Amino acid sequence: MEKIIRTLDNSPIITYIYRMKEVHIKVSNISPKQWANLLLELNLVKSAWKRFGPQLNIRAKNFDKIIKWGQKNGEDNDSADTFVQRNTSKRKIRSS
């Protein structure tokens, strides 16, 4: 029978902190638009946290394509939304 040698970890918390952590998210009952928005939000978290040290790796089918599409369309939609909001706020409600 083989002897198992266990080493004593004097700082288990530090060892735990420096190990790679993984999270697996399974999503069901989601529309394609919701899926794209979820991936875009996760990418925003990834870029926002990057300067604080965590390096997130997101893997999904067509992830790069969705991010490229979202960044391109996000800029166009923001300017269009502000224009629509300005014009709709000037409308007066008629009472009959």
The 10s digit of each residue's pLDDT in 3-38 is: 555 666 666 666 666 666 788 899 999 999 999 999
Q: What is the DSSP letter of 62?
A: T
Contacts of residue 70, Cβ cutoff 8 Å, sequence gap at least 6: 36, 39, 40, 43
What is the rounded radius of gyration, in angstroms, for the C-alpha atoms of the chain?
A: 24
- Quote the CA–CA distance of 96 and 79 in Å, as a whole number: 35
Residue 1 lies in a domain: no
Q: Tokens in use for 81?
A: 């939304």
Residue 84 lies in a domain: no
Residue 40 lies in a domain: yes
Residue 18 lies in a domain: no
pLDDT higher than 90, residue 65: yes
Structural domain boundaries enclosing 41: 33-71
- The pTM is what? 0.57
Q: 37 vs 20, 42, 51, 70, 81, CA distance in Å?
A: 26, 9, 23, 8, 17
Residue 60 lies in a domain: yes
Q: What percent of the chain has pLDDT over 70?
A: 55
By C-alpha distance, which of 20, 25, 18 is closest to 58? 25
Query: What is the reported pLDDT for 82?
Result: 46
How confident is the model over 59-86, as a mean pLDDT? 72
Residue 55 lies in a domain: yes
Q: How confident is the model at residue 2 (pLDDT cuts 50, 70, 90)?
A: low
Q: How confident is the model at residue 89 (pLDDT cuts 50, 70, 90)?
A: low
Domain count, the chain: 1
Query: What is the reported pLDDT for 36?
Result: 93
